[in-house]
Amino acid sequence: MDDDRPLHGVRILDLTNVLAGPYCSYHLMLLGAEVVKIERPGDGDLARRLGPEPGLNRAAIGASFLAQNAGKKSVELDLKDATDRATFEALLTGADVLLENFRAGVLSRIGYGWETLHRINPRLVYCAISGFGQTGPMRQAPAYDQIIQGLSGMMSVTGTPETAPLRVGFPVSDTIGGLVAAMTIAAALAGRSRTGKGVCLDVSMLETSLSAMGWAASNFLVSGVPPEPMGDQNATAAPSGTFHAADGPLNIAANRQEQFATLCRLIERPDLLTDRRFADREARKQHRAALNDEINKALRSRPAVEWEHTLSAAGVPAARILTVPQAMELDQLKTRGFLTDLEFPGDPDRTLRVTGNGVLVNGEALRPRTPPPLLGEHNHEFKTTADEVTAP
């Protein structure tokens, strides 16, 4: 893809660490933005030292960092140092976006609150991602993904009545916070093209997580019914959840009446359609356990992959439950170019594989073009420019 990606020409100064912020800027990079990571000299993003390979962590290219920093640039700046502050302010004048995920008020305390940033660059879009937002009684509380999962109620509905509360198996609150921030930044840039003015964006991971919980939150707000953990079952329909084929688990979501009828025909159990316990959606929900037991008996006659093909072809949503390695081998991902192979930073004999964002633009996948940067790899590019700006 040539330079026709939607955010080509946009420069983002990225002060973020670990996950929510870097995940946000990774997606903006895939959309064409130039992302310049501003990292603390000698240490850099904490994610550089996080991951399952100790050797990579010691080399400051941990797996957690590699996963979401391809295509970015790295420059080391100490924002408490006068020279580096001058460099930073020079960069601000030409930037479109400043992104940070410090605790509320940290950037302001070192002299870069919104009023100062807006004075330096009136067109700047400033986005702060934090656990609880920049206002409110919890604004200073420390927060990681698991803290937000617990406070949002997410953990209370994850698992079964016997196992809940459980943490979701990946950092979903960080991910959602990063995605909402990226969406809002893109919207702010679109708005700036009309008004010419920058804006201040305040993203709360607690609030974005609650917003993303869908029916678990809205059913309580609208009807006063608190959600309960239901394991692998769907509270809104039956049969809808995990079932058991001859060789392993299978997800089926026969949420509509015609899908249930098709399912009964294909598993050769037409009698289920005339059973009063399963006559309609509400009846099936009330007798979910009995219905699941009958369906499981029928499914044990064939392997999961056969049921997946048979049911899906007939319009009944169904699929195997895969491991992450199995999912990464799906032909669907290969066809759409979801994964990209890059040169491994500092190791030409090794390949780094990273994910995309699931979007095709004019039929082409959005891919990073360069590997994740070594710490300070682009100091020469940006500090040279700043020296020229600040020279007497």
Please identify every residue annotated as catalytic: 174
- The tokens 């400033």 sit on which residue? 126
Q: How far from each other are the two terminal CA atoms of the chain, in whole angstroms?
A: 42
CB neighbourhood size of 274 (10 A): 9
CB neighbourhood size of 125 (10 A): 26
Q: Report which secondary-structure segment, H or E, holds 74.
A: strand 73-76
Q: Which runs of consecutive H residues, i.e. helices, occur in the chain?
A: 20-30, 54-58, 63-66, 82-93, 106-109, 114-120, 145-152, 172-195, 205-212, 215-223, 257-266, 271-274, 281-286, 288-299, 304-313, 324-328, 331-336, 379-390
Distance CA 372, CA 77 (A): 18
Name the CA dihedral angle for 165, 171, 177, 179, rounded to a multiple of 10 degrees.
-130
Q: Are 43 and 49 spatial neighbours (Cβ–Cβ below 8 Å)?
A: no
* CA 104 vs CA 142, 206, 295: distances in Å: 9, 14, 52
Distance CA 336, CA 45 (A): 31
Chain centroid to Cα 383, Å, comes to 32
CB-based burial of residue 195 (10 Å sphere; 0-12 exposed, 13-18 middle, 19+ buried)? exposed
| Residues written for the chain | 392
Q: Are 69 and 33 spatial neighbours (Cβ–Cβ below 8 Å)?
A: no
**Percent helix, strand and coil across the chain, each to the nearest 5:** 45, 15, 40
Distance CA 180, CA 99 (A): 13
Q: Which two tokens stand for residue 364?
A: 């082409």
